[in-house]
Amino acid sequence: MHILVTNDDGVQAPGLLALATAMRRVGRVTILAPDRNWSASGHVKTMHRPLRVRRETLADGSDAQTCDGAPSDCVAVALLGLVADVDLVVSGINPFANLGHDVTYSGTVTAAMEAVIHGLPGVAVSLDGSRLQQDYEPAANVAVNVVQSLIRHRLSPGTLLSVNVPGLPAREIRGVRITRQGQRLYRDELIQRDDPRGRPYYWIGGERPTGVPAEGTDFGALADGYVSVTPLQLDLTAYKQGQDMANWGWT
Ligand code: MN
């Protein structure tokens, strides 16, 4: 089992090191991750500039490669030929949860989406952490369990898993729930200020988002102290809406 490990926080982020270290218990690990923070960069394909890849040494002395593209670019560069014989892509560990509508913003999740585009299973791992609580060990162990299950049972083609782990000590995590995407409540605010030349500029600010902890959702699982595992697919078609629209009297 050859596992490509990436993230969206940059190659030197502690969550990547924790994930890569844990994945070595499952198989051979190759690391190719962005050279800087691409959080909330979405599903990117860099087409209008070259991508550079260089060697990097992680905090534990292990070898990695880093690229000046987005997380999804890193996966594409690897799977289009830079890294041979990859079986699985695992992305993370993001320091904050990726829930509900976050998934198309998230560089962590879109890296796993890119794996699916190349015909491989992808797993995104995020910790529902706080700025004070950033212990990646429990989430890294959860990631090993999820990946071992995936290898044993196989994912359907076109599917990726978004794993969100409560920011709790391991003994307080109550188990795993298979979930659907819940309702994110963004609290973004448009901040307008003037630059030194008197021209307005805009910044998307505001409070950290919340969400609706409904039964069966990713938010609900975390609120109850469970790991949330959401199977995702890139087919965003609204099938029910399509059936309704067939009766709209198109000519
Ligand atoms: Mn991130």
User: Is 195 a domain residue?
Assistant: no
| Domain total of the chain | 1
Give the model's pLDDT for residue 14.
96
Q: Work out the number of other CB atoms within 10 angstroms of the CB of residue 53.
A: 16
Give the model's pLDDT for residue 3.
98
User: Is 206 a domain residue?
Assistant: no
Give the model's pLDDT for residue 133.
66
What confidence category does residue 134 fall into, taking pLDDT thresholds of 50, 70 and 90? confident
What average pLDDT score do residues 44-62 get?
Answer: 97
Q: Yes or no: say if 68 and 34 are a contact pair by the CB < 8 Å rule.
A: yes
Give the model's pLDDT for residue 195.
97
Q: Could you give the percent of the chain with pLDDT greater than 70? A: 99
What's the pLDDT tens digit per position in 168-183?
999 999 999 999 999 9
CA of 40 to the centre of ligand 1 (A): 7
What number of CA atoms fall less than 13 Å from residue 31's CA on the CB side? 32
CA of 96 to the centre of ligand 1 (A): 7
User: Is 119 a domain residue?
Assistant: yes
Both structure tokens of 145: 């369990």
Q: Is the pLDDT of residue 160 over 90?
A: yes
CA of 16 to the centre of ligand 1 (A): 10
Give the model's pLDDT for residue 39.
94
What's the pLDDT tens digit per position in 68-115?
999 999 999 999 999 999 999 999 999 999 999 999 999 999 999 999
CA 184 – CA 98 distance, rounded (Å): 10
User: Is 87 a domain residue?
Assistant: yes
CA of 4 to the centre of ligand 1 (A): 17
Beta bridge partners of 34: 67
Domain of 64, CATH number, reads 3.40.1210.10
Query: Which residues are found with C-beta within 5 Å of the ion, ligand 1?
Result: 8-9, 39, 94
User: Is 202 a domain residue?
Assistant: no
Residue 171 belongs to domain spanning:
2-183+212-245
CA 81 – CA 231 distance, rounded (Å): 27
Average pLDDT taken over every residue of the chain:
96
Beta strand pairing call for 184-194 and 88-94: unpaired
In our burial notation (b when 16+ CB lie closer than 10 A, e otherwise), range 65-102 reads: bbbbbbbbbbbbbbbeebbeebebbbbbbbbbbbbbbb
- 3-state DSSP assignment of residue 210: strand
User: Is 53 a domain residue?
Assistant: yes
CA of 95 to the centre of ligand 1 (A): 6
CA of 97 to the centre of ligand 1 (A): 9
What average pLDDT score do residues 28-57 get?
Answer: 97
Q: Yes or no: say if 98 and 164 are a contact pair by the CB < 8 Å rule.
A: yes
User: Is 133 a domain residue?
Assistant: yes
User: Is 230 a domain residue?
Assistant: yes
- 3-state DSSP assignment of residue 126: strand
| pTM summary value | 0.96
What average pLDDT score do residues 112-124 get?
Answer: 98
Q: Could you give the percent of the chain with pLDDT greater than 90? A: 97
Give the model's pLDDT for residue 196.
97
Helix (H) or strand (E) holding 114: helix 107-117
Whether cis (ω within 30° of 0) applies to the bond prior to 3 is no
Single out the residue of 143, 111, 116 nearest to residue 127, CA to CA: 143
Query: Which residue do the tokens 């509900």 mark?
Result: 100
CA of 13 to the centre of ligand 1 (A): 9
CA 46 – CA 221 distance, rounded (Å): 35
CA of 165 to the centre of ligand 1 (A): 14
